[in-house]
Amino acid sequence: MLLKGKTAVISGAASKRGIGRATAELFAEHGARIAILDIDADAAAAAASELPKVDTGAHIGLRCDVADRASCQQAADAAIAAFGVTHILINNAGITQPVKTLEISDADWQRIVAVNMTGVLNLSQVFIPNMRDHGGGSIACMSSVSAQRGGGIFGGPHYSAAKAGVLGLAKAMAREFGPAGIRVNSVTPGLIQTDITGDKLTPEMRTDILKGIPLNRLGDARDVANIYLFLASDLSAYVTGAVIDVNGGMLIH
């Protein structure tokens, strides 16, 4: 039990096969009380009700559009009212779109940047004061191998840019809030088998991608959840501003 007595807020944790949902399950197995924040309110409530129970109170599912500051504030108010203190924030929500540079419309750019990057700032801003007032916490932010190698897997250049922005933002927050006991780290997964790729990942693409992965398999949501668990728990008590690759060796650098 690595998170006994802790509370954790996880964004983008409603989709059944997603990384956020796997993280919520793993954290609950380790004793944490969870708030699932997702743009899909019904799915968030259903996901929360299906998590392993803990003895510190019921898990909660809340609607939150991470791209919308007011929606984040509302969700934070509700989560803090229920929990009192928030120990862990997992900035996981994200969307992607497989287009090339010349095809990116202004609306595409705004949407991809707003959810993947501005969302990290929005949720961090609404939870950090509570963490600071209670002596610290741990924030983990979702980036992607796409930020490090300029895409080439699935997301377009706007996705790479937004996920690269997350790395800079997380490092800057780590520097700023370290003295307050708040650690901020990032994860950079390779290709993880979730529904984010829709039906656009063909068997041929899959075979091609596998050739570049030394561990010879695509990732599972649990592979990333395990790294979030490490970053959320005291196992990583002296780690901040770090970027952890979870890619089967797809990018060794």
Site residues, ligand NAD (CB under 6 A): 11-12, 14-15, 17-20, 38-40, 64-67, 92-96, 115, 142, 144, 189, 191-192, 194-196
Beta strands in 67-160 (DSSP E): 88-91, 137-142
Write down the least CB distance from residue 40 to ligand NAD, Å.
Answer: 5
Q: Which is nearer to ligand NAD, 137 or 190 (CB)?
A: 190
Q: Where are the alpha helices (DSSP H) in the chain?
A: 19-29, 41-50, 69-83, 106-113, 119-133, 145-149, 157-177, 203-210, 221-232
Q: Which is nearer to ligand NAD, 86 or 144 (CB)?
A: 144
Residue keyed to tokens 């610290």: 136
Write down the least CB distance from residue 119 to ligand NAD, Å.
Answer: 6
Q: Which is nearer to ligand NAD, 237 or 252 (CB)?
A: 252
Write down the least CB distance from residue 248 to ligand NAD, Å.
Answer: 11
Q: Which residue is nearest to ligand NAD (CB)?
A: 94
**Residue 219 per-residue DSSP state:** B
Q: Which is nearer to ligand NAD, 15 or 124 (CB)?
A: 15
The answer to whether the CB of 10 falls within 8 A of the CB of 36 is yes
* Catalytic residue of the set 127, 154, 159, 228: 159
Beta bridge partners of residue 57, listed in sequence order: none
Among residues 42, 45, 1, 28, which one has the least CA distance to residue 90? 28
Write down the least CB distance from residue 129 to ligand NAD, Å.
Answer: 21
Write down the least CB distance from residue 14 to ligand NAD, Å.
Answer: 4
Q: Which is nearer to ligand NAD, 137 or 155 (CB)?
A: 155
Extract the tokens encoding 111: 């949407």
User: Residue 222 is which amino acid?
Assistant: R
Residue keyed to tokens 């959320």: 232
Tell me the C-alpha distance between 54 and 33, whole Å. Answer: 6
* Residue positions counted in the chain: 253
Cβ burial, residue 95 (10 Å; 0-12/13-18/19+): middle
Dmax (CA) for the chain in angstroms is 53
Does 228 participate in catalysis according to the annotation? no
Catalytic residues, which ones?
A: 159
